Amino acid sequence: MHHVTDSLLVGNVEDAKNPPSFVEGVLFLAKEHDIPPPDGILFAKIPLVEFGQADPQQVYEAVAWLERHAPKKKVMVCCRAGMGRSVSMVIAYLCCAQGMDYSEAVQLLRSRRPGATPLPNLDATIQQVIRMRQNG
C-alpha cells in the first residue's frame, strides 16, 4: 500500500481484502478477482481488464466515485498488484477532478508508487472522460 495524497492510497488485492483501520473506502478494479466487501467501509468494484486500455465509461465511473468520497475520506484504490489499474484511476481522478496535468499526475504516482505503470493510451482516455464530464 502506498500513500499518494492525504486521502488517496493505492494498493493490491491483499490490501483490498484487509484494509488498515484508517481506510474508509476501497475502490477495487481487478476484473479477475472477486473479494467480499470489507466490513464497515465504503466499497465499489469497477472491473477493469489488466494491461488493457481502460473503457472511458469505466474511467468516468471511477473518477465519479473518487470525487464523491476521496475529498472527505481516506480511500484506497486497488487492483491485483497495485501498479497499473489502480494508479491509472488515481491519475484519471487527479486530471479530471483536480485539474492536474497528465504528466504531473504520472510523475506524482511514480514518485509515490515505484513501478507504477499507467494503462495504454490513458492520456487519450482521460481526455475523452474530461469531454464526457463537460457534456454531462
| Alpha-carbon distances, residue 22 vs 26, 44, 52, 85, 134 (angstroms) | 11, 17, 31, 22, 34
Nearest to 119 by CA among 12, 29, 23: 29
Q: How far apart are CA 125 and CA 71, in angstroms?
A: 23
Cβ–Cβ < 8 Å for 122, 91: yes
Give the residues of the chain that fall short of pLDDT 70: none
pLDDT of residue 136: 74
pLDDT at 1: 96
- pLDDT at site 39: 92
Q: What is the pTM of this model?
A: 0.96
Number of DSSP helices (H) and strands (E) in the chain, helices first: 5, 5
- Classify 82 in phi/psi space as left (phi over 0), alpha (psi -120 to 50) or beta: left
Instruction: Domains for the chain: give ranges and CATH numbers.
Output: 2-135 (3.90.190.10)
